[in-house]
Structure 1
């Protein structure tokens, strides 16, 4: 039986909200880090999460900012590019998962979108013993800077073929990764993967990577 619950995760003396879903006999927990200006209600991340849940993976979609920080960010946008802050929030969530009886024994995968991808890479470098894989969707891994070379978990960088600027940023970031990694380009897709079949391709690739870190189904990969 699938269990679903709203959770509150302590972070920096406050709390951030999350939605935890656990299919029966989950083997891995996937923690989602949304992109700039988004939240745990992102329809794209929720669509990917549903696909992962169908494959037996647990998911935690969470807000990276507190309610007050969200109010400030809407006006100033000062927090959404604070990769250090966002990375610390993900580390707090990873540690929280390690303290819950249902999730404590499960390895963690990180799925980051946009600026959330950089935060996911920072968190993976901070918790190499807990994070077993990372997936970036239309991400900005370049914003992780020098931390890229410290990541040990296998990294999958998913980019739309028509998202040319972000594709080039991902190629440059991939060159700095020392961990096993792959650049997966979805032909004809733009930044939000709104084209028919594009988001489904993202979900399938992410599912493969989380189930078998470092591997993709070669029949599906472009």
Structure 2
């Protein structure tokens, strides 16, 4: 079932930057998924994003963040939760809690590529108010600190042909002590561009969020 969707560009101040984002909120939304994509171009995902569309049909709002406003990972500054991009991701969660349209909705997190490390570090700090988390094509440098401290149910997804992600994701999965699941999509590469592979990712993410996030159905 399709729900009317309110789309708005947002600007979230943190440090010396303004993090650009797009909030897509279906009518009667039951939660918000914060989305950060570090696996392709570091721009906001378009409204026609396939995974976002699947989430919207499940009455899950999305806040896509422009990775350019978060991305200090490549410069080695994300080891400590006090530094970006972890702090800037936290600022985005804080903004959702202050925003009248989202302040009472459960928050979840969808991250990919090298920004998955920021997601893990925010979750391990216990300050992100994360109800559930999905990480796709994660680029991690093991050992990742604090994995055993994460309590949010976590789904890890890797493409079967993505050698740069499968091994590290398997190692992270072993270190997690929360409710967890590891899915390898056969025949998929890092970007999940193969026919049918992105559909699998969208279905897995939707199911995980609906099952493990504290949504209240109206």
TM-score range, shorter chain: 0.7 to 0.9
1:55 maps to what in 2?
58
- Give the SS at the match of 2:84: helix
The question of 1:32 aligning with 2:31 is answered no
Q: Secondary structure at the match of 2:7?
A: strand
Q: In the alignment, which residue of structure 2 is the partner of 1:181?
A: 180
SS in 1 for 2:20: strand
**1:37 Cα offset (Å):** 6.0
8 Å CA contact retained: 2:140, 2:169: yes
**Contact 1:113–1:137 under 8 Å retained in 2:** yes
Change (3 A) 1:87 1:144: farther
Match of 1:65 among 56, 62, 68: 68
**Structure 2 CA distance for partners of 1:89 and 1:143, relative to 1, 3 Å:** farther
Count of residue pairs the alignment pairs up = 206
Q: What does the per-residue CA deviation read over 1:14-34, in whole Å, with 9 as the maximum and x for residues that have no partner?
A: 311000011111111000111
TM-superposition CA deviations, 1:114-162 (whole Å, max 9, x none): 0121111112233457210010111124467112112110000000111
Q: CA deviation at 1:113?
A: 0.5
Which residues in structure 2 correspond to 1:18-167 (within 5 Å)?
A: 18-35=21-38, 38-42=41-45, 46-66=49-69, 78-79=74-75, 82-83=77-78, 84-127=83-126, 130-142=129-141, 145-167=144-166
Q: Secondary structure at the match of 1:51?
A: helix
Tell me if the contact between 1:53 and 1:59 (Cα under 8 Å) persists in the aligned partners: yes
2:49 counterpart SS class: helix
**1:2 corresponds to 2:5:** yes
For residues 169 and 153 of structure 2, the distance between their equivalents in structure 1, rounded to whole angstroms, comes to 15
Q: How much has 1:170 moved relative to structure 2?
A: 0.6
- Alpha-carbon shift at residue 40 of structure 1 (Å): 3.6
Corresponding position of 1:199: 198
C-alpha separation in 2, matches of 1:50 and 1:144? 34
Q: Which runs of 4+ in 1 moved over 6 A?
A: none
1:165 CA drift (Å): 3.4
Distance in 2 of aligned mates of 1:153 and 1:141: 18
* Helix, strand or coil at the partner of 2:68: coil
| Partner residue in 1 for 2:216 | none
Cα distance between partner residues in 1 of 2:34 and 2:143: 18
Larger % of helix: which? Answer: 1
Q: Which residue of 2 aligns with 1:218?
A: none
Output the TM-score relative to the length of structure 1.
0.84
1:168 pairs with 2:167: yes
The separation in 1 between residues aligned to 2:67 and 2:125, in whole angstroms, is 17
